Amino acid sequence: MENSDLPPAVTQKANCHVTAEAGCDWPVEPEKPLPSDCCGGGCVPCVMDIYAEEMRLWQEEYRSLREGKRTAQESRDPHTAGPVLSSDKYTAFRLENIQKLTFDTTSGTYVYRFHIPGDRRLGLAVGQHIILRGSVASRSVTRQYTPISSLDARGHFDVLIKVYQTGVMSRYVRTWQVGDMVEWRGPFGTFTYRANQYRHLVMVAAGTGITPMLQVARRVLGNEEDETLVRLLYACRRYQDILLKDVLDNLAAFWNFSVSYYLSQEDQKNFKPKYGDEIHHGRVDQAVLSAELPPPGSGVLVLICGTRSFNSDMEESLKALGFSQTDIFRF
C-alpha cells in the first residue's frame, strides 16, 4: 500500500520533482552524500548534518504543498522586516551580474552578484558562509560558499564559484543567466574574532579557499584599533590562477598585511609577475610553515582553507611543528 505521508518523490520516484526538465510540482529529493564526502575534520555544519537538514526541509515543503500552503522559499520575502537570510529556510535572490575571473580547459572561476531588495545587508558575521541549493537531473544538490563582498555591503552580495566541466553543482551553476532566482540559506560557521585577540593571524589558503580569508582580513584591516599582523600564504598552480589579485594588492597597502604566493606549476622563465609580488615556486609544506610562522604559543592563530587534502596536510604539518588544535582553525 502506498504511504500517503511520504513525498511523491519517494512513493512515485519517476515523475515527482520540481525541475526545469520535469515541470512538476513537487520538491526535489536531496541527494545523499557518500561516506567519502565527509572529511572527518569536524566541519560545522558537516555535509551529513546539511543532508539531514535538507531532508527535513524537503519533507516540510512537501507537506506545505500537500496542504495547499506556500512553500518555505515562497513565504520568505527579503523586502520584509527581519533577517534577510534564514538558516532553516531558503530565500531566492535574483542574479544581477556574472564576472569571469579565470578560464581554462577544465574549469572557470566566476563572481556572481545577487540582489538584496531594500538596500539591506546580507547579515553575516566574519568568517561565516551560506548554502546554495540547486536541482540537476531530478536531484537536489547543495554546496557551501563564503561571500566575498564586504560584510557591510548593501543591496547585494557576491559569491566566487569555481565551475568545472564535470560535477553536479557545476552543471547547475552553468545554467545561470542574469535575472535567474537562486536559493540560499544561512548563515553558518563557528569562527569568532575580536580585535587584538591574537598577535598574528597566519592564513594558509589554496585556490578558492581565499574567500573566507578575505572576510577576516577585511575585518582586521578595517579597524584602525586592531594591530593584528595578518600574513597570507596563498597556494595556486600558476600566476594567472591567483584569484582576486587586485583585491589582494589593495590589502597589501596596509602596514599589517602581507602575502606570499606559492606557485606549484608555473614556468619560472616565461612569466612576468607584478613588481613587488612575493613569489615562491613550489608547494606550501612543513618546511615553508616552519620558516613562515611564529613559534607556537606566541599569540598566533593559523587559518586554513583549501581542498580536503590540502587542509589535512596543513593541519598535520602544523601539529608536527608543535601547534595545538586551539592554534588552528579550518574553514
Q: Is pLDDT of 46 > 50?
A: yes
Q: Which helix (H) or strand (E) holds 160?
A: strand 156-164
Q: Which residues are annotated as a binding site for FAD?
A: 143, 145, 160, 162, 169-170, 211
Q: Across the chain, what does the average pLDDT equal?
A: 84
Whole-number pLDDT of residue 2: 36
Q: Which residues are annotated as a binding site?
A: 143, 145, 160, 162, 169-170, 211
User: Is residue 2 a contact partner of residue 10, using CB atoms and an 8 Å limit?
Assistant: no
Q: How far apart are CA 32 and CA 55, in angstroms?
A: 9
Between 180 and 297, residue with greater pLDDT = 180
Q: What confidence tier does 83 reach under pLDDT thresholds 50, 70, 90? A: confident
Q: How far apart are CA 249 and CA 265, in angstroms?
A: 22
CA distances from 65 to 68, 70, 132, 230, 266 (A): 5, 7, 22, 50, 54
pLDDT tens column, 151-178? 999 999 999 999 998 889 999 999 999 9
pLDDT more than 70, % of the chain: 75
| Segment 94-100 mean pLDDT | 97
Q: How far apart are CA 16 and CA 37, in angstroms?
A: 27
Whole-number pLDDT of residue 302: 98
* Sequence-distant (≥ 6) Cβ neighbours of residue 268 within 8 angstroms: 281
- Chain-centre distance for alpha carbon 153: 17
* Sequence-distant (≥ 6) Cβ neighbours of residue 250 within 8 angstroms: none
| Segment 196-222 mean pLDDT | 97
User: Is residue 318 a contact partner of residue 300, using CB atoms and an 8 Å limit?
Assistant: no
What DSSP line would sit under 242-304, residue for residue?
-TTHHHHHHHTTSTTEEEEEEESS--SSS--PPTT--EEES---HHHHHHHSPPTTSSEEEEE
Q: How far apart are CA 113 and CA 118, in angstroms?
A: 16
Q: Is pLDDT of 15 > 60?
A: no
Q: How far apart are CA 114 and CA 56, in angstroms?
A: 26
Q: How far apart are CA 313 and CA 162, in angstroms?
A: 22
Of 52-66, 126-140, 254-268, 310-324, the least confident: 52-66
Q: How far apart are CA 72 and CA 32, in angstroms?
A: 21
Q: What confidence tier does 123 reach under pLDDT thresholds 50, 70, 90? A: very high
| Segment 176-185 mean pLDDT | 97
Read off φ and ψ for residue 220, nearest 5 degrees: -65, -50
Q: Is pLDDT of 16 > 50?
A: no
Whole-number pLDDT of residue 45: 63
Q: How far apart are CA 70 and CA 249, in angstroms?
A: 47
C-alpha cell, 1: 500500500
Q: Is pLDDT of 4 > 90?
A: no
Read off φ and ψ for residue 249, nearest 5 degrees: -60, -40
Whole-number pLDDT of residue 130: 97
Question: Does pTM top 0.75 for this prediction?
Answer: yes
Whole-number pLDDT of residue 138: 81
Of 35-49, 228-242, 282-296, 313-327, the least confident: 35-49
pLDDT tens column, 242-292? 999 999 999 999 999 999 999 999 988 888 899 999 999 999 999 999 999
Q: Which of 190, 199, 126 is nearest to 329 (CA)?
A: 190
Between 228 and 31, residue with greater pLDDT = 228
User: Is residue 9 a contact partner of residue 29, using CB atoms and an 8 Å limit?
Assistant: yes
